[in-house]
C-alpha cells in the first residue's frame, strides 16, 4: 500500500518525500531549482515500476522511448510508436499518484493523444523550438532534451559524448536557451561534459535534468533497467559510464527462475505447502464412480 504521511518519512535512515494524493505540478518542479533541491527523475514503463518508484519518492517519472530498447527489444529507440508510448504511459499514470509523469514524443510523431501524462519530452534544440512553442501555447507542458539525443543516433554516429568542442558546446547552450525561450519547463542534458552541464544549468532559469552530465545539474534521470541492472540492453555489452548499478536484479531474477525450473524438473515443486488438499472419502467416491469396468 502507498503510505500517506504529512511529513517526510524516515525509513531505514533514508529521508523520502511524503507520498500524497496530490500530483506534483510543473510549478512544483520549477520551484525546486531556486531552493537548491535536486529533482529525482527515473524512467518507468509499467504499473509495478511506477508504483515502486513512487513509493521510493521519485519526483518525475519518464515514460522514455528507451522503452523500445529495454522493454520491447529493438536495437534503437527509432521504431517506438506513439501507440507504444500511450499504452505504457497509461500504466505508469495508474501506478503513480505524486510523481509528475512525462511521456516521450517518439521519433517522427508530433501529434498528441490523451494518455493522462502531465507533460511530454521532445528531443532536439533550436530546430524543435517552434514545435515546443506550439505545444506550450495549446497548454501542453514540455521537457526539452539536448546533448546525446538517441532519436538522432544515425546523425550523431553513435552514443558519443556531445558538446566537447567550443563550437559544439556553444551550440548546445544555444539549443538549451532556445527551448527555455520556447516555453519548455525543464530540459534533459544527456551525455555532455560535467562542466558544460554546470554552465548550462547556471545560464538557464528552468531546471536541467542530467543523465551522464555530472552533479551540477538541477536533477538527475536514469533508466530503470540500468539502475537496477534488470535485463538492460547494455549488459553484457558496454555499460555507459553514467550508469551506477544500485542493484543486480537481473541476476537475482535469473537465479530465481533457474531454481524454479530445476525444482519443476526434479519434482520438488510444488510441495504439499503449495498444493490443495481433498477429503480422502470424496476422492474414493470419485474414483469408484469413474472407474472403468474391467474387460470381460
Positions in the binding site for ligand KIV (CB under 6 A): 43, 62, 64-66, 104, 188, 190, 211, 221, 223
Is the peptide bond prior to 180 cis by the omega test (within 30 degrees of 0)?
no
Q: Collapse the DSSP code of 11 into the 3-class scheme (helix H, G, I; strand E, B; otherwise coil) and give the result.
A: strand
Least separation in angstroms between CB 33 and ligand KIV: 18
Least separation in angstroms between CB 45 and ligand KIV: 9
Q: DSSP string covering 211-247, please?
A: ESS-TTSSEEEE-HHHHTTSS-TTSSSPPPTT-----
Nearer residue to ligand KIV within complex by CB, 188 or 217: 188
d(CA 8, CA 222): 23
Least separation in angstroms between CB 221 and ligand KIV: 5
> For residue 159, what are the CA distances in angstroms to 69, 93, 270, 271?
14, 30, 47, 50
Nearer residue to ligand KIV within complex by CB, 47 or 159: 159
Least separation in angstroms between CB 186 and ligand KIV: 11
> For residue 56, what are the CA distances in angstroms to 70, 207, 221, 285?
21, 22, 14, 54
Nearer residue to ligand KIV within complex by CB, 32 or 42: 42
Name the residue number minimizing CB distance to ligand KIV.
64
Least separation in angstroms between CB 209 and ligand KIV: 8
Task: Please say if 174 is a catalytic residue.
Answer: no
8 Å CB contact between 149 and 192: no
Catalytically annotated residue among 190, 258, 263, 287: 190
What single-letter DSSP state applies at residue 274? G
Element (H, E) at 23: none
- CA-nearest of 9, 26, 275, 262 to 140 is 26
d(CA 196, CA 194): 5
Backbone angles phi, psi at 222, to 5 degrees: -135, 160
Q: Which residues are catalytic?
A: 190
Amino acid at each position: 500500500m502507498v503510505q500517506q504521511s504529512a511529513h517526510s518519512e524516515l525509513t531505514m535512515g533514508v529521508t523520502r518525500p511524503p507520498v500524497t494524493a496530490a500530483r506534483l505540478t510543473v510549478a512544483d518542479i520549477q520551484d525546486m531549482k531556486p531552493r537548491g533541491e535536486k529533482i529525482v527523475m527515473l524512467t518507468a514503463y509499467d504499473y509495478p515500476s511506477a508504483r515502486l518508484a513512487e513509493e521510493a519518492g521519485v519526483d518525475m517519472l519518464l515514460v522514455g522511448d528507451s522503452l523500445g530498447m529495454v522493454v520491447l527489444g529493438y536495437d534503437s529507440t527509432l521504431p517506438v510508436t506513439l501507440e507504444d508510448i500511450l499504452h505504457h504511459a497509461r500504466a505508469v499514470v495508474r501506478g503513480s499518484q505524486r510523481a509528475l509523469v512525462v511521456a516521450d514524443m517518439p521519433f517522427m510523431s508530433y501529434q498528441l493523444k490523451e494518455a493522462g501524462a502531465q507533460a511530454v519530452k521532445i528531443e532536439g534544440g533550436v530546430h524543435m523550438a517552434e514545435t515546443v512553442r506550439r505545444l506550450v501555447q495549446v497548454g501542453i507542458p514540455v521537457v526539452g532534451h539536448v546533448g546525446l539525443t538517441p532519436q538522432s543516433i544515425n546523425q550523431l554516429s553513435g552514443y558519443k559524448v556531445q558538446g566537447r568542442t567550443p563550437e559544439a558546446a556553444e551550440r548546445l547552450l544555444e539549443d538549451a536557451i532556445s527551448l527555455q525561450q520556447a516555453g519548455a519547463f525543464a530540459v534533459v542534458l544527456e551525455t555532455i561534459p560535467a562542466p558544460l552541464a554546470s554552465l548550462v544549468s547556471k545560464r538557464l532559469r528552468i531546471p536541467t535534468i542530467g543523465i551522464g552530465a555530472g552533479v551540477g545539474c538541477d536533477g538527475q534521470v536514469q533508466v530503470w533497467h540500468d539502475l537496477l541492472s534488470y535485463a538492460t540492453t547494455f549488459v553484457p555489452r558496454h555499460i555507459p559510464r553514467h550508469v551506477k548499478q544500485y542493484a543486480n536484479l537481473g541476476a537475482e531474477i535469473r537465479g530465481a527462475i533457474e531454481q524454479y525450473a530445476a525444482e519443476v524438473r526434479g519434482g520438488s515443486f510444488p510441495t504439499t505447502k503449495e498444493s490443495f488438499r481433498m477429503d480422502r472419502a470424496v476422492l474414493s467416491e470419485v474414483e469408484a464412480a469413474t472407474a472403468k469396468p474391467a474387460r470381460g
